[in-house]
Structure 1
Amino acid sequence: MGESATRTAPRSGTDNRAAGGRAGQTLSGLAVALGLVLFLAGFGWGAVVYRPYTVPTGSMTPTINAGDRVLAQRVDGDEIRRGDVVVFKDPNWANAPVVKRVVAVGGDTVACCTKGKLTVNGKQIDEPYLPEGEPAESIAFPTVTVPEGRLFLLGDERHGSLDSTAHLQDAASGSVARSAVSGRVDAVVWPMNGLLERPTGFEALGSELSEPGPYRLIVYMIIGGAALVLLGAAYGPIAKRVGGGGRGR
């Protein structure tokens, strides 16, 4: 009987290792499956919410440089607020999408400059996104009243930007219809500069700022999903190496 007991002990250990291996394989399979769901859902959500654009000029420097790749959230023009960087298309401006910053909306009065600053509704606006050392007076323009349902837009690099100031003689005083907007720029993805900073200077007007879209959550989903897939897929080779090392000892 003692000999019989001695022979059964190895089988019990083998069974425990097999059970542990099966549990590990199950967990790794679940990790891979969950990772794939998160990864694909993140890309799918991003494709629905955002549109990519390549900015061809430096008129939005330093916020967005020429050649940068941006993601613009698909929004209705009525959702646009002062300070937003938007993508729009107006046949009077160009035959391609244009990227500029909204500095005034319908009913606002806007002018430049008072003590070197843009003024909206008589209030001076702090604009930390402008290039350092650029004199605001270089784009001085008289007071403009923005028609209802329209937007007044400027480039951050204003000295060389073909923006609303270049269209002041138009019937709409250089403004663009809200309906012309196809997206609000949320992030620069190439190079990977991430989310645009919030333009807090317009809070002086008592207006609400736009909330950023789900870009950050989408990125977390994609990265987390990829990590789960890699960890789950790596379980098998790691388990074999560890198991092989144990048998060698």
Structure 2
Amino acid sequence: MRRSRPSGDPSPVGPDGGPAATRKRRHVPASVEAVVLLVLALLLALGIKTFLVQMFFVPSESMEPLFIKNDRIMVEKWSYWSSPVRRGDVVVFEDPGGWLGPPPPLNPVQKGLSTIGLYPTGGHLVKRVIGVGGDRVACCDPDGRLTVNGVPLVEDSYVKKGSKPSDRDFSVTVPKGRLWVMGDNRSNSEDSRYHRQLPGGGTVPESAVVGKVWAIVWPISRWDHIETPRTFDQKALAQE
């Protein structure tokens, strides 16, 4: 005789008093599951590129000896979530207009990978920040040094040997919200010094900065973490 559970529990029971066999679960087809996982992976990659890290390649010799042409560099974005760009940071920024020609064409696969941050993109530059909004940047002092707010920088640790601090004299006050940037290979870098005829007087808007260079990631033999030179830690650099 079929037994049932006490009143209030409508679940059917089997002949031994246990629950009756439940209906078999439907299995999602493997093809649909693969598509869903792929979409989730792409969304995750896109989120990582947008908020965390992105890869770029170095297109020229302007940042030697730190970077050489075709190095792959990783840019992190969290440093600027709650703090501004700082002097001495090496940053990647979008062309503010008139600095570069059109970016090289990409095939469809490269375009797709660049969209999610897995292929280095063009249309960007990498330079070192020398002055931030309100700074007075000048070159050169009587001893041939670059100065920020009247304080000379000791640049031996990052400027390419044999390069002068600048091959042209200048004195600028960086507008608020903008940056004065220069390459470490001073004799071979078309940086802020060479775009003073453009809007902004050669400075770059902070809003154009993609992020701070965190490391060289390729080739493996050149892997290195990027640090800010100590000369930018001088308290005297702080604006009065």
TM range (shorter): 0.5 to 0.7
Q: Match for 1:133 among 149, 162, 168?
A: 162
* 1:99 has 2:129 as partner: no
1:72 match: 75
Question: What is the CA–CA distance in structure 2 between the aligned matches of 1:207 and 1:142, rounded to whole Å?
Answer: 18
**Once the two structures are superposed, what CA deviation does each residue of 1:147-187 show, in whole Å capped at 9, x if it has no partner?**
01000000000111110001122232210100011111110
Query: 8 Å contact 2:164–2:186 — kept in the other structure?
Result: no
Question: What is the CA–CA distance in structure 1 between the aligned matches of 2:164 and 2:237, rounded to whole Å?
Answer: 26
Question: What is the CA–CA distance in structure 1 between the aligned matches of 2:127 and 2:215, rounded to whole Å?
Answer: 14
**% identical aligned pairs:** 40
* 1:186 has 2:214 as partner: yes
Query: 8 Å contact 2:134–2:175 — kept in the other structure?
Result: yes
2:230 match: 200
Bigger fraction of residues in helix: 1
* 1:50 has 2:56 as partner: no
Q: Match for 1:151 among 146, 169, 179?
A: 179
Q: How many residues align?
A: 166
2:135 match: 108
SS in structure 2 of the partner of residue 136 of structure 1? coil
Single out whichever of 58-67 and 46-55 deviates more from structure 2: 46-55
> What is the RMSD of the two structures over their aligned residues, measured on CA atoms?
2.5
Question: Following superposition of structure 1 onto structure 2, how do residues 17-96 of structure 1 map, counting pairs within 5 Å?
Answer: 49-75=52-78, 76=80, 79-89=84-94, 90-94=96-100, 95=102, 96=123
Question: What is the CA–CA distance in structure 1 between the aligned matches of 2:70 and 2:160, rounded to whole Å?
Answer: 18
> What residue identity is the alignment partner of 2:164?
P
TM-score, normalization by structure 1: 0.61
Single out whichever of 159-168 and 184-193 deviates more from structure 2: 184-193
> What residue identity is the alignment partner of 1:160?
N
**Once the two structures are superposed, what CA deviation does each residue of 1:38-64 show, in whole Å capped at 9, x if it has no partner?**
xx9xx9797652100011101000011
Question: What is the CA–CA distance in structure 1 between the aligned matches of 2:99 and 2:163, rounded to whole Å?
Answer: 24
